[in-house]
Structure 1
Amino acid sequence: MEATYFFDPACPFTWRTSRWLVGVAEQRGVTLRWRAFSLSILNGDNVPDQYKPMMAASSRALRLVEALRADHRDETVGAFYTELGTRTHEAGVPISDEIVVAAAEAAGVDNAKAILEDPAWDEAVRESHELGFGSAGPDIGSPVLMIEGAGRGVHGPIIDEVPDREESLAIWDAVVPLARSGAFFELKRGRR
């Protein structure tokens, strides 16, 4: 089975959900595909000044995500996101251009700086974002999960901590049939 995960690397909830998904994929034999979902595109100019440098760094990181995907390097995208999230979300440090470059180098991407600075990849990011948003939207954000056999993607699941193995698999085993159901569209509860 394949699952495509549309993500913005600046989002901490998206990061935690990705760690859940990586663990589940290993246990359930799921092939992960990684795609760009841009909170910058989603929010447009409606971003407080204090977050603009972080969003700019995230946008450049998404260029690399789509460049690697176009080169059929999903495993490298996964390694890059792991390196990036470890350096930011796990370390309690906001995403920055320097961290993005260091994460790309640690993931073995040789030409990362050129890709990160190449605006030609912005169209691929926009197309990926629109695909993810269109599959699960409206009124959604990052992440979007598309599961093989489902007609539409779903926003989430949003988790605030990675559960243990048993609970992780239970969530996956519940999400798959819900995502594949044509009748299902939302399950939500407020944050604590």
Structure 2
Amino acid sequence: MDATFFFDPACPFTWRTSRWLVGVAPERDVTLRWRAFSLSILNGDNVPDEYKPMMAASSRALRLVEALRADHREETIGTFYTELGNRTFEAGAPITDEIVVAAAETAGVTDPKAVLDDESWDEAVRTSHELAFGSAGPDIGSPVLLVEGAARGVHGPIIDQVPGREEALAIWDAVVPLARSTTFFEIKRGRA
């Protein structure tokens, strides 16, 4: 089964959900597809000044995601995002341009700055974002998960920490039928 994960690399909840999904994929024979979801596009100018450098670095990273996708390099995207998350969320550091470049180089991207600085990829990022938002929106954020056989995507699942194997598989086995249901709308609880 294919599953498309639309993500913004600046979001910590998205990072944890991605680690859940990466762990589940081989267990459930899931082929992961990675796409851009832009919190910068979603929030427009409504971003506090302290977060603007992180959002700019994330936007540049999403250019690379879409460039790699266009080149059919899904595994490289997955490696890039893993490197990026390890250097940010796992290391307790905010995303920066320097971290994005280092993660891209470690993932095997030759001359990543050429793509990171290429604004022509912004349209592909916007198209991907609009696909995700249109699939699961309104009132959503990052991540969006679209599973094969589902007419619409879902926002999330949002998880606070990466679960162990059994719980991870149980979440997957619950999410897929809900995502494929044409009558399911929403399940949510407050953060405690």
Instruction: State whether TM-score is above 0.5.
Output: yes
1:116-127 alignment, distance < 5 Å: 116-127=116-127
1:86-101 alignment, distance < 5 Å: 86-101=86-101
1:100-139 alignment, distance < 5 Å: 100-139=100-139
Q: How far is 1:142 from its partner?
A: 0.1
Q: How far is 1:173 from its partner?
A: 0.1
User: What residue ranges of structure 1 are gaps of 5+ in the alignment?
Assistant: none
How many residue pairs align between the two structures? 192
Deviation string 1:101-149 (CA, Å, 9 cap, x unpaired) is 0000000000211000000000000000000000000000000000000
Q: Tell me whether 1:143 sits opposite 2:143 in the alignment.
A: yes
Deviation string 1:83-115 (CA, Å, 9 cap, x unpaired) is 000000000100000000000000000021100
Aligned to 1:37: 37
Q: How far is 1:26 from its partner?
A: 1.3
1:40-59 alignment, distance < 5 Å: 40-59=40-59
Deviation string 1:133-169 (CA, Å, 9 cap, x unpaired) is 0000000000000000000000000001000000000
Aligned to 2:73: 73
Q: Structure 1-normalised TM-score?
A: 1.00
Q: For the residues of structure 2 that align with 1:152 and 1:12, how far apart are their CA atoms?
A: 24
Q: For the residues of structure 2 that align with 1:78 and 1:131, how far apart are their CA atoms?
A: 20
Q: How far is 1:185 from its partner?
A: 1.1
Aligned to 2:3: 3
State, as a whole percentage, how many aligned pairs show the same letter: 83
User: What residue ranges of structure 2 are gaps of 5+ in the alignment?
Assistant: none
Structure 2 counterpart SS, 1:27: coil
Q: For the residues of structure 2 that align with 1:132 and 1:103, how far apart are their CA atoms?
A: 25
Structure 1 vs Structure 2 CA RMSD: 0.3
4+ residue segments displaced more than 4 Å: none
Structure 1 counterpart SS, 2:27: helix
